[in-house]
Amino acid sequence: MDKIVIEGGRRLEGEIKIAGAKNAALPAFAATLLCPGKFVFSNVPDLRDMDTMIALLKVMDAVVEKHDGGVVTVNTENIVHCEAPYDLVRTMRASCLVLGPLLARLGKSRLSLPGGCAIGERPINLHLKGFQSLGAEISLEEGYVNAAAPDGLTGQRVYFDLVTVTGTENLMMAATGAKGTTVLENAAREPEVVFLADMLNKMGADVRGAGTDKITINGGKELKPAEIAIIPDRVETGTFMAVSAITGGFLKIVGCHPPHVEAVTLKFIEMGCKISEGPDWLEVTGPARPRPADVETNPYPSFPTDMQAQAMAVLAVADGASVVTESIFENRYMHVAEMRRMGANILIKGKNAFIHGVPSLSGAQVMATDLRASASLIVAGLAAKGKTHVRRVYHLDRGYERIEEKLRKVGAKITRQPDKDKK
């Protein structure tokens, strides 16, 4: 496995281009299972999670071809297999997104039940409860969930007890194949949900209200494949905003969609950044030293949990005390112990992290067990004095496209090296 080595303390300046959004591309690829034919995707990010999704589609007998420039074609003419196996699900929980489309198209699907993961328990009970409301029978057998609707699905009202992003996406996809109307209440409003609804409508479905907490799907329409451009990644955008904030740098972030990161933009302005924006770019000037700010994660349009760790890295060197509250996942503070090793002063109490900003961090050997925690250690390492070795880069490659190359271009001293220590 590789590691990333950073010599921190440099001011970064230049232009960075944002890739397509992982969390938009994953459900979009799963949606290809809804009908036979050839889909053409552009702006697909080159990530490990996308490779896992492609492997999964291939297990289902799809023909997937990667072309230059982020173009991927997915042909779902012949879908016979409907089982998402353990080896793929255990490396990527979003594998569960195939359940809804397979149930809609084939009337059955089978998924190795995801276990707990590094950021929390993350059950899929609300997905399953939703499928049951539409008439599916759900059973658990040898670690696998079987979902079956031999007579098809029927539209219903579905109320989500919690706001769930992939749960909303899964149900939206299943409901396109149900007879009659489905109404999803307390639905997620994330941009990725709106993007998926747009894709489904382009395929011939009738999905209304995406972006609000009530989504109506008039099911049973005939679906056809479509050409789809993946929207820009708002978490990658926010991560580079954090880079500018912590290095006192100046980054022009291009190919992004500023309205999707509004809560993040406002928070970084509170921390002392100067930010200007155009239709598809943001210019972020970091302060000499960040100001403290309180951050609470909540579903969109609030501050995203996927940016919590990167914001915390910036607050770790702020001129004062901040409180971060993680309201989505119960265990998303895995980066804190590593940041402490770099000299950060952070205390965790329940879902709150109390941060006393220190004048500077120092480089250390660090490692994280999830994607965004790894990104936050890169952010911290860019500002730290001395060398930071971020190990288990595997996590980073799941969700960031060649992050070290992008950072090198704006002046970072950062390299990827083989990690001789296998532990």
Is 35 in the active site? no
Longest dimension (CA), the chain: 64
What would the x/- binding string for ligand EPU be over residues 382 to 411, using CB under 6 A? Answer: -----------------x------------
Structural tokens at position 366:
């660090």
Candidate list 12, 23, 223, 260; residue touching ligand EPU; CB under 6 A: 23
349: enclosing H helix or E strand: strand 345-349
Structural tokens at position 89:
């699900």
The reply to whether 193 sits near ligand EPU by the rule CB under 6 A is no
Query: Which residue reads 């709106």 in tokens?
Result: 194
Rounded to a whole number of angstroms, the minimum distance from the CB of residue 49 to ligand EPU is 8
Q: How far apart are CA 261 and CA 310, in angstroms?
A: 14
Rounded to a whole number of angstroms, the minimum distance from the CB of residue 124 to ligand EPU is 5
Coil vs helix vs strand at 150: coil
> Which among 198, 212, 210, 148 is positioned nearest to 174, based on CA atoms?
148
Closer residue to ligand EPU, CB minimum distance, 70 or 304: 304
From 35, 82, 96, 117, active-site residue: 117
The reply to whether 173 sits near ligand EPU by the rule CB under 6 A is no
> Which residues 64-123 are close enough to bind ligand EPU by CB under 6 A?
94, 120-123
The reply to whether 328 sits near ligand EPU by the rule CB under 6 A is yes
Residues in contact with 359: Cβ distance below 8 Å, sequence separation at least 6, in sequence order: 289, 317
Q: Do the Cβ atoms of 4 and 375 come closer than 8 Å?
A: no
Distances (CA, A) of 131 to 108, 219, 271, 313: 11, 14, 43, 40
What would the x/- binding string for ligand EPU be over residues 304 to 323, using CB under 6 A? Answer: xxx-----------------
The reply to whether 301 sits near ligand EPU by the rule CB under 6 A is no
The reply to whether 329 sits near ligand EPU by the rule CB under 6 A is yes
The reply to whether 143 sits near ligand EPU by the rule CB under 6 A is no
The reply to whether 371 sits near ligand EPU by the rule CB under 6 A is yes
> Which among 398, 406, 390 is positioned nearest to 371, based on CA atoms?
398
The reply to whether 165 sits near ligand EPU by the rule CB under 6 A is yes
Residues with catalytic roles: 117
Chain contacts with ligand EPU (rule: CB under 6 A): 23, 26, 94, 120-127, 162, 164-167, 192, 304-306, 328-329, 371-372, 399
